[in-house]
Structure 1
Amino acid sequence: MKLSTRIKPISYLKAHASEIVRDLGKTGPALVITQNGEAKAVLQDIHSYEQTQETLALLKVLALGQQQIAEGKVVPLDEAIDRIKTSRRGSK
């Protein structure tokens, strides 16, 4: 994602808000809004936002898994299956 071509000042956003919102998903993944020459906000279409949130959630799960592996908080697959079978038998 090359944001350098998608930078607009806040005055542009104020003058073209409805056009920006309408075209956001078509023209690019995101739009950087500047104020006094500094990047202040990023606008993106809802589909891109949802994809970003899903990706972040998956990365958090992977990081948690890596942490649990590093801490030795894992069991072999066959042992986990045996535990599940034992607990299911006990609940019947």
Structure 2
Amino acid sequence: MQLSTAVRPISAVKAHLKEIIHTFNEEAAPPVVITQNGEAKAVLMGVHEYERMQETLAMLKALSVSGKSFETGKGRPAREVFAGLRAKGKR
């Protein structure tokens, strides 16, 4: 993703907010970096992209925690983990 093509001053965002938000309906719309006095201050993104990002972060955190657990000898065999997941799915 190339953020440099989606950098806009706050004045332009204010003037064209409706159009910018409309672009977030497109699947591949990049986030908009909002600048103030030439300095990046905020990022505006579509809700679907935000949700995807949050899901990715949650998965990465889970992988990190499981990796640390495994390193300390607290890991569980995959067979046991998948059996537990299947049991949760049947509830």
TM-score range, shorter chain: 0.7 to 0.9
Root-mean-square deviation (CA), in Å?
Answer: 2.1
- TM-score normalized by the length of structure 1: 0.77
Match for 2:13: what amino acid? L
The aligned counterpart of 1:40 is 41
The aligned counterpart of 1:90 is none
1:9–1:37 CA contact under 8 A, matched in 2: yes
Identity %: 48
Aligned residue for 2:30, secondary structure, equals: coil
Structure number with the higher helix fraction is 1
In the comparison of the two structures, how many residue pairs are matched?
A: 81
- TM-score normalized by the length of structure 2: 0.78
Higher CA-based Rg:
1
List gaps (5 residues or longer) in structure 2.
85-91
2:66–2:75 CA contact under 8 A, matched in 1: no
Answering whether residue 6 of structure 2 is matched by residue 14 of structure 1, we say no
Measured in 2, the distance between the counterparts of 1:44 and 1:77 equals 37
List gaps (5 residues or longer) in structure 1.
85-92
